[in-house]
Structure 1
């Protein structure tokens, strides 16, 4: 049964810094908040006005800034901070006459005028900081990995909002406005769930879709190096995602159709550097993988549900587990507080296990790594400017085809695979010290012989 204490919800509306109380607060029939990171977040406040007395009063019609709080009584949390952009009246003979106050977050300021401008040797982070300052916003940035690429940025007859949005989508950033903060960040998936819901208790509706056509095993981005007059090819494959939701089996491993290629090829005119092409490929791969499982969820209102939150949905079979919230809609009226939100993830399988079960699974992985450590032993022999590698298992049998990487003293990386006898001669390592690793085996899974 639902917790009755959670049913007692309330709201608070601040207009131009003043909290509505008394008659003004009592006139509010409903509140709708639409939170998203793919556009501007929005709100609507429905005000009862049967005698049309609020139409000309400055309380609702002349205000500029709006803050909305929702949640359990005494524990309200902010769900919107923006500005009024419009209001409308609804006069119906058979229904209630209402005034609807509407608005957007402060990103609407950046949508009005189009510009043509260049940013020399700039990263998306640099552009975001410059543009934020123009609108009196504070830039909140997180470069993430791979590092932001500095190159010539061209804003071609675009609004500042569209310019930042296009860079964010192209290179794997999240761009949104929250209050007076302009966020331009690579998502950082929380280590703990922000909220947890169970079907039959908290979850009223759960509508998942698993699209096996979306995930791709690899992405290839074609571009042109204007300076070097050469073709560029950026690549990314499963495992190179910029972010990933905790789960069981990647969707790309399940999306197998013999009649089609699972690779995606793109051509990007805005790319002019190799590292830029690789970043764009990883961003495209991440976007496709996160479209594997999407769902619409309806629960009792919870202000913790917002874009970017990690939620754990339980008791929905193989769909159970962790999801990233992409959009959240909050509704408050006489019937109470409800929330309809949208989630996504890139994994298949029930991953809703407890922290203790997760810890046990990690311990099992460590045990496997320890077993692998006992299974392979490499031998490295050096002579002049080359080294000989030999990799054998615990029984002395060669480990054929194992991939190796040799990092030389001058920073070069030499890659290859062992032959059928588990051997390889690596030329050109120089005379300085070098480091040998086997990517398919964890660093602690082998020992030098």
Structure 2
């Protein structure tokens, strides 16, 4: 099982920033930051060392016509000795900032987002999707946005009519469907993902205190713990009520918290029940799925934390990692919610926001 990046690798981080397929000179790049998470589009920031040409009276980068909002950018980052582990983010420039000083070199900072950010600007194509599954709907939206449906889990149940809100953007619509199902939605490169969280297996990367952890700050809160969720919905076709119930025992996994029952009992959470009303569903199976998604969401904040380590490009949101030797309460398998990769003159560092698998 891998233990992350170590040894001489930490001294040789590599990165490439390309603009319309043309690479920036490495010496012109002072820092790169890539911030990926499962709740919003991935963001990147690239800082360039600016040069003023006395002969032409122009700045090398600021006055370059190819650098402008909307220009496509590709970023590769990793280590020279591990080309197979390099990662790629693609997106578009959305903002340009300059810093002019008389005592040193000026800088130009490019800010941008991955392609899912464009989906936040795109208005609805249609307000109703009839006789389609959720997965068929999001696949259609992915194609409309020139994205590759890399991983779209089959939701199987065909809906009579999936309604879209007026003026609801593509991103918000897909996000709403994902939240209702307990799915996650994100874009990586040109790939479109709409899937169940991959949080039921041990990770391929293990972190250990006094080994490859720079820092780890876990926190535990039982404020939102819920034992059961009941969904009281309505079947429009049969014109009758439908109930879906999810219990805490149904969302436990083999890599989850062993003493979850004891924690809930001590916090009086074993008696907490949530009742949801007002939804229209196809059948009992869909009602159950919605209740399960809500129950998972309410209990996922039990143990969360922030982890810092030597930069590792294989660490991305949507994967599990193992954290060991941090005490019985906090040692275990965690799911990565966000990953921030920072490369600058000090080296390459990765910061993760994680939650404990249930």
Please indicate the TM-score interval, normalised by the length of the shorter structure: 0.7 to 0.9
Moved more, 130-139 or 193-202: 193-202
Paired with 1:215 and 1:79, the residues of 2 have a C-alpha distance of 37
1:251 corresponds, among 236, 239, 260, to: 260
1:84 equivalent in alignment to 2:85:
no
Structure with the greater relative contact order (CA < 8 A, sep ≥ 6): 1 or 2?
Answer: 2
TM-score normalised to structure 2 length: 0.87
Where does the alignment leave 5 or more consecutive residues of structure 2 unmatched? 1-5, 53-58
The alignment status of 1:7 with 2:11, answered yes or no, reads yes
Tell whether 2:164 aligns with 1:155: yes
Q: 1:7 to 1:190 in 2, by over 3 A?
A: farther
Alignment match of 2:319 (pick from 309, 317, 333): 309
Q: Secondary structure at the match of 2:281?
A: coil
Given that 1:219 and 1:236 are in contact with CA atoms closer than 8 Å, whether structure 2 keeps it comes out as: yes
Alpha-carbon RMSD: 2.4
Query: How many pairs align?
Result: 341
Question: Are positions 1:292 and 2:302 aligned together?
Answer: yes
Q: How does 1:108-257 map to 2 (within 5 A)?
A: 108-115=117-124, 117-143=127-153, 147-148=156-157, 150-157=159-166, 158-189=168-199, 191-241=201-251, 244=253, 246-249=255-258, 251=260, 253-256=262-265, 257=267
Matched, 1:69 2:69: no
CA positional deviation for 1:269: 2.9
Distance 2:69 2:123 in 1: 27
Does the CA-based 8 Å contact 1:172-1:186 persist in structure 2? yes
Q: For 2:112, which of 100, 103, 108 is the aligned residue?
A: 103
The whole-number CA distance in structure 2 between the counterparts of 1:81 and 1:270 is 38
C-alpha distance in 2 between matches for 1:154 and 1:174: 20
Residue 22 of structure 2 corresponds to residue 18 of structure 1: yes
1:147 Cα offset (Å): 4.3
Distance 2:259 2:179 in 1: 22
CA displacement 1:106-131 (0-9 Å, x = unmatched): 11221113335100122210111111
Distance 1:259 1:162, change over 3 A: closer
Structure 1 residue runs of 5 or longer lacking an equivalent are 348-449
How many Å separate the matches in 2 of 1:245 and 1:302?
27
Partner residue of 2:35? 34
The 3 A distance-change label for structure 1 pair 327 and 252 is farther
Say which one has the larger Rg: 1
